[in-house]
Structures are given as C-alpha cells and as structure tokens.
Structure 1
C-alpha cells in the first residue's frame, strides 16, 4: 500500500461528505498516500488539506499558464510552490511536455515533475533497468529532478 498514491480531484469531495472521508481515512491508515489533482484553485486547494488530510498535490502546468500567461508562468509557479512548502505539502508538477516546460519547472523550484517530455510510461521492469544504471530515484521509487 505504501507504493500506491490515490489521486483525488479536489472538487470530488466536500467537507461534509462522510462516506468519501471514511474511505480516504481507511486508505491512509492502510498506508496508501492521497494526492489531490486539479489544483488550479491554488490557495483554496491548499486549504483543503485542513479539512481532508492529503499527502501531496498535483499541479497542472496548463492551468497555471492559463491563469498567469507565458510571461508570468515561472513567477506564479514559484509562488505556488513556496506556498505549498509553507504548509509542508509536496507538489508534483504535471504537464511537463517540453524542454521549455522542464526548464521553467526547474527555475521555479519544482522537484517532482510528470509529463511527456520525460518519456513514455514505463513498465516496472523498465523502471528497474533505468534506475539500475544510475538514474536518481527517491525513497518511494518515484523519479525526481536532481538538485
């Protein structure tokens, strides 16, 4: 269970949804980690952590670009990452689909990214082969950017 991350959309549950909260609590007690996606709401999404205990957020670069535009993308992303760090919530930046996206993510301080630029989805065997040739992997088996 500790290798499983259950991805929940932030608008999928509400504070008074006891059934959903019971299920999420059951999953967390068994070791499953909870991530929240569709985090374009920013501060409102981070506030969800006070009602629903979460282990990480997944932030889509396209949502930030839609709000900030290309010119202010890195600045807004950096601010969001700082805000998440302030409340001790790790962030996975999704939609990193080009070299420019990756450069922007690094500039903003992202430490975990997902997207087409990193390559196609891999099988467990392919991941083991990749990590055995020196790629940096975190303790939970996820690939991360080297700092």
Structure 2
C-alpha cells in the first residue's frame, strides 16, 4: 500500500460514503483551504434523518434512475456506511467558490478526485483538518482494525 496521508477531514455520513462510492466530487464548507493533496476521510459519528434524506434526494436527482433501483441503492448505501472512523482517502485538487458539479452548493467547495475506500478503522474525529494518531495510521497501513 502507498504511504497514507497523516491528515484527515471529518465528513458526516452519508456524504463521506457518497464521496468514496457514488461520485461526490465536491465537499462543501464555509471555510477555504490552501491545502492540495491526499487526505484521509473520517466518517463522523453523527448523522441526522434530514442529512440522510437530503443526500439521498440529491443522489436520486443526479442519477435519474427508476424508483426500484433508487430504493435498492438507498438500502445498500445505508447498510454500507460506517461511522466514527477512517473510511478512505481522497485528493483535494482545488478550493472553489463556484462549480458546475451538481454536488456543489457552497459557499466554498473542496474539489475532490481519486477516491479510494479503505478498511474501516475507528478514530475520534475533530473539526477541520486534523492529525491522525500513529496507532490508527499503523492499523490503516497494515489493513487491520485499531
């Protein structure tokens, strides 16, 4: 496995899952960053029913699939989500105030590319970018749970 980044960004579910598995290519924030490069995705523990509904409605609108396919996908997404730990890595390639991406609703968006799911490793999250503890990085590198 390539060397993993040591910084992470907490993202609430189901948004973290959508980044890694469903093409969400912008992470919306109220603050900008100059950072460019790989960052670990930390799936925060919290997720409200409204967040779930909003994310699934947006995914449904973007994908334009029939209702049966949409309902099957919603169940698969919900069952596949882990919370409270590192779930993947993505590259931040830009920070924008406008975007043609259907995932952008601002005011600022981190442009994301090259999402790579990782085996789930529990980890406490923090606001903004944060340093991942060494034991979590070791567990990620070896593919074992912390």
Shared fold (TM-score, shorter chain, > 0.5): no
The structure with higher relative contact order (CA 8 Å, sep 6+) is 2
Relative to the length of structure 2, the TM-score reads 0.27
Q: Which of the two has higher C-alpha Rg? A: 1
Structure with higher strand content: 2
